[in-house]
Every structure is written in structure tokens, then in C-alpha cells.
Amino acid sequence: MNVELRDIHKIFAAVHANNGINLKIPAGVIQGILGENGAGKSTLMKILSGFYQPSQGQILLDDKPVIIRSPADATRQGVGMLHQDPLDFPSMRVIDNFLIGHPGELIPDRGQAAAQLEAIQQKLGFSLRPEAHVDTLTVGERQQLEILRLLWLGVRVLILDEPTTGISALQKEKLFAALRLLAQEGKTIIFVSHKLEDVEVLCHKVAVLRQGRLIGEMLPPFNITRLVEMMFEKVITLGNRRSCCRGEISFRLNALELEDARLHIPGVSLEVQGGEVIGLAGMEGSGQALFLRACAGLVRAVGGHISINEHDLTGKPYHTYLEHGIAYLPAARLEEGLAPGMTLTEHFLLAGEARGFNIDWEQGRKVAQERIADFNIRGTPASPIEALSGGNQQRALLALLKHPLNLILLEHPTRGLDIESSIYIWDKLKERCAEGAVILFISSDLEELLQYSDRLLVFFSGEVSSPLDAERTTVEHLGQFIGGKGWAA
């Protein structure tokens, strides 16, 4: 289906999120949409998929002007969107999720639906079990389910918003192969991302947005330096690796054994120096999240010992871990890390030391103001946390960390952030390392893992590798290792 956007504007209060965007996407093309956070990509896609109405402008499908009233209306007209966080029903089975949203009889024909699901997924090379419960699937598999569902609904334009965050290298390959196949069939694919390498290998055409405007388009071969310039107005390099290792051991794991409903991690032993950064690599759900939570004192180990600066913390409650200067920053910022509905000042007061019984609001606002300036957060002390952009929420989360800390545990510290924000966040984290804090972090971004870690632990379905020296590991090697290749039997 040919898609055309004509002079699209979207204005939210003070923000001109989309400013006169014109874009033509012919059928059979994989169109990349690049831009940093807040460039207006998501807004544009939400307009095309019926979540928002444009303030001005026109959408044409197959050269006919249309009005898309709602997401359901969008699917009826052939436009479907795959959201960054899968919008599914985790407690229900795959087949029931597949059936949801399908117009039809009062009593759905599950057998027929399962057969059709099977037919589509065979074509695309997916292998989901219809009877599996969605909460047992990985993010990548949930994405596959959503794609299958949209295709079954007859979608001819498929929008994917940051589909490669949080999925494994292997799943990414599968996804890209499926998308290429769909494009060959004449479907229109719109691929929203800020990952240059993904866009480079996949897209037939790239449009770059910056501050709500369409800066320009590019056809392959892509000039990456030029694309980065278009996105940021300047070239960014990641800077040199630097290590802050201090020599003396600060964090120690002794044959730590972990278990949950799906995984069993047999004894991990690890000695980490003060200031050292350990990257935890692996496909989502390979055990690294469980491991990190155990280090935070949120999951109790089945066996083994954890100690920090020679204090044994094995089996102690979470607040003892906090008292020993251990901090845990979850990936789901608004769900677990921050409290929507509360202001920045309230967050800082909550996370800081309570001075007496009564709150000194004046002092609280002053501290908030300082931290906001210090961490370059775009907001005011009175801003509700949910009003900040993702990058600013992540900065706020970092600004909440106490001083001093011995161990910082992070899940996907830069997921969904643009390069500039990521560099900023790592600068702040490295400052903590320089003060002697140990960092353990999970990431699915191989570049990030190699750039910032001193050593790496690779997880593969509960197996944990011995520590790898990050400096002597390549992206290719790490990628293969994560995918399960190169493990000694």
C-alpha cells in the first residue's frame, strides 16, 4: 500500500512535535525513520496509526485521502503498529491474544485460528506454540505474536517502533528476514529506530527527523557519518575506554546458586574490584535479570554467599543491602523505579536521608534544583516525573542514587535513549566508579557492553560464562557467544 503524509503538524500545548512533515512511502519499501529521542518519530507514527489526530495535514493511503479515527480504524484501513512495549495480555495464551481484536463470530473458532496462525508463522519462520501463555515468552517472541496478529487482521502497512530493543541477535535476524519477505510481497514497512546499524542493513530508504521536522531522506548506500550529522547536527564519538579498577576486591560472590520458575543458575563465583564495571550479556531471559536481582537482595539465593567489603549479605533482607550502599535501578522506569504522580522534589526527598520528622520543603526544592542542574534534567522541581521524557527520567533515576555507593546494579541503563543521553549517563556512572563503586549492568546493546565494561559475563539459558576481558572481545565474538556458539561443552 502506498502511504503519503502531507504537511503533518501536531501541537501539544507548548511543543510542536511534528512540524510540516511530508513523506511518501511506496508499497514494497522498508522505510527507516531515524531521529533522537523527542525528534517526533513516535508522534508521527501514532498519527499514522490512529492514536492521535494531526493538528493539521493529510494522510493518503493508495493516493486516497483518509481520516484515521482510532487504532482499530487504522487496522481496518490496513495500517498496524507494533509498539515498543508489546501491547498484549500476558496472562492469556498465545492463541487468545491472537484472536483478540479480530472481528468475527460470538464464539471464536480456535481451531481455524490456530491453523491460520500456523500458516502465517511458517511462512515467516516463527515458531510460537498457540497454547503457551504469553508471560512465558520473551520480548522478541511477543513481538512476533503481535506481527502475526496484525498480518492476520489484513494489515498492509506495518509500523515498528524500536523493534530491536530488548531482543536477542538471533531474534533480530529472524525479524529482519520476515520484514524483507513482507516487503517483497508488497507490504509497506516503516521501521522506527535510533540504531544506525539496524537501519543500514534493513532499510531501502531512510528519513531523518530532528525537532519535529523532516531533515532529509537518504537512499543506500547510507553514509553513516552524514546520517549522524542529520540526527544531531554534529558527529559524536563514544570517546576512549577508561577503567577505574582499584585493585582491592570489593564485591564477592561465592558459588552463588539461583533458581526461579524457569531457570537454574548453578554456582557463580566472582570477585570484583572497587571501581570495576561488569557487563551482563545474554538473550533476554537467559538468567541475567535474576542474577542482578539476587545481587540487589531482591531474590534470595538457593546457595552460596554474597558479600560486599567483607560484609556477608547472604539471606539478608533488601533494606540491609540498601544500608550497605547497594542500589538497584530497574529497566521499567515508570513501573518500578519512579512514582508517577509525584514531583521531582518529592522524589529527591523520598530517596534522600530523612532529616527529622518534618519536611523542610524550601530545602527540598533547593536540593532538587541543584540535582536538576547537576544532572542536566529538563524539568523543574515541581514537574511530575511522568511529564519528563524517557532520557530525563533515566537521568532523574541516576540523580536519586545516594552518596556514597558500593555497588550499582542497572538493567538496560540506556535503553531507548539517544546517543548523547547515553554518553551522558555513562559519564555520570564512571564518576561513581572513580569513587570506588562497582557497577554491574545488563544490556542487549553489544557496543555498549564492550565500550563500558571491564569484564563481561555472558548468560545462556542459565549457564554463566567465566568473565571475559571486554577489551579483547569483539562484537562478532560476543554476538556468537550470546547466541550459544563457542560454549565449551
Partner 1 sequence: MKNLRWNNFLFQLVAFLLALAFTSLIMVFAGAPPISAYVEILGGAFGSVNSLANVVVVWMPLLLVTSGLLITFTAGLWNIGIEGQITLGAIFTTAALRLLQESSLPPWLIILLAMLAGVAGGALWAVMAGLLKTFGGVNEIFGGLGLNFVATALTLWLIFGPWKRPGTGSMSGTEPFPDTLWLPQLPGLRLSPWSVIFGAAAIYLVYRLLSGTYFGLRLKAIGKNVRAAFLLGVPAWQHSLLAFALCGFFAGLAGALQVTAVYHRLIPSISSGYGFLGLLVAMLVNYQALWAAPVALFFAALNIGSIQLPIMLNLDSSLSGVLQGMLVLFVLLTEGARKRWLQKNG
CB of 135 to partner 1, least distance (A): 17
Q: Which is nearer to partner 1, 152 or 318 (CB)?
A: 318
Tell me which stretch binds partner 1 (CB under 8 A): 23-31, 143-151, 161-169, 355-363.
Answer: 355-363
Q: Does 346 bind partner 1 (CB under 8 A)?
A: yes
DSSP 207: E
Q: Does 11 bind partner 1 (CB under 8 A)?
A: no
Q: Out of 322, 367, 405, 423, which residue is the one contacting partner 1 (CB under 8 A)? A: 322
Q: Which is nearer to partner 1, 397 or 417 (CB)?
A: 397
Q: Does 63 bind partner 1 (CB under 8 A)?
A: no
Q: Does 361 bind partner 1 (CB under 8 A)?
A: yes
CA distances from 28 to 96, 158, 214 (A): 30, 11, 22
Q: In what order do the strands lie in the sheet with 15-25?
A: 15-25, 3-12, 56-61, 64-66
CB of 13 to partner 1, least distance (A): 5
CB of 349 to partner 1, least distance (A): 6
Q: Which is nearer to partner 1, 92 or 339 (CB)?
A: 339
Tell me which stretch binds partner 1 (CB under 8 A): 103-111, 114-122, 149-157, 331-339.
Answer: 331-339
DSSP 169: H
Q: Does 359 bind partner 1 (CB under 8 A)?
A: yes
Report CA torsion sign: 85, 87, 93, 95: negative
Helix (H, G, I), strand (E, B) or coil at 177: helix
Report CA torsion sign: 377, 378, 381, 383: negative
Q: Are strands 438-442 and 455-460 parallel, antiparallel or unpaired?
A: unpaired
Nearest-10 crossing angle of helices 361-374, 390-399: 120
Q: Out of 247, 310, 319, 373, which residue is the one contacting partner 1 (CB under 8 A)? A: 319
Q: Does 396 bind partner 1 (CB under 8 A)?
A: no
Cell of 374: 547537576
Q: Which is nearer to partner 1, 67 or 100 (CB)?
A: 67
Using the CB atoms, write b or e for 420-447: b if 16+ within 10 Å: ebbbbbbebbbebbeebbbbbbbbbbbe
Q: Out of 78, 287, 325, 337, which residue is the one contacting partner 1 (CB under 8 A)? A: 337
Q: Does 235 bind partner 1 (CB under 8 A)?
A: no
Q: Does 299 bind partner 1 (CB under 8 A)?
A: no
Q: Taking Cα atoms as reference points, which of 31, 436, 415, 337 lies closest to residue 199?
A: 31
Q: Out of 341, 373, 403, 476, which residue is the one contacting partner 1 (CB under 8 A)? A: 341
Q: Which is nearer to partner 1, 384 or 467 (CB)?
A: 384
Q: Which is nearer to partner 1, 107 or 357 (CB)?
A: 357
Dist. CA 272–CA 275, nearest whole Å: 9
Q: Does 404 bind partner 1 (CB under 8 A)?
A: no
Dist. CA 36–CA 151, nearest whole Å: 29
Report CA torsion sign: 424, 425, 426, 432: positive
Q: Does 358 bind partner 1 (CB under 8 A)?
A: yes
Q: Are residues 377 and 388 in contact, defined by beta-carbon separation less than 8 angstroms?
A: yes
Number of residues that bind partner 1 (CB under 8 A): 25
Can you give the binding site for partner 1, defined by CB under 8 A? Answer: 13, 318-319, 322, 328, 330, 335-342, 346, 349-351, 354, 356-359, 361, 400
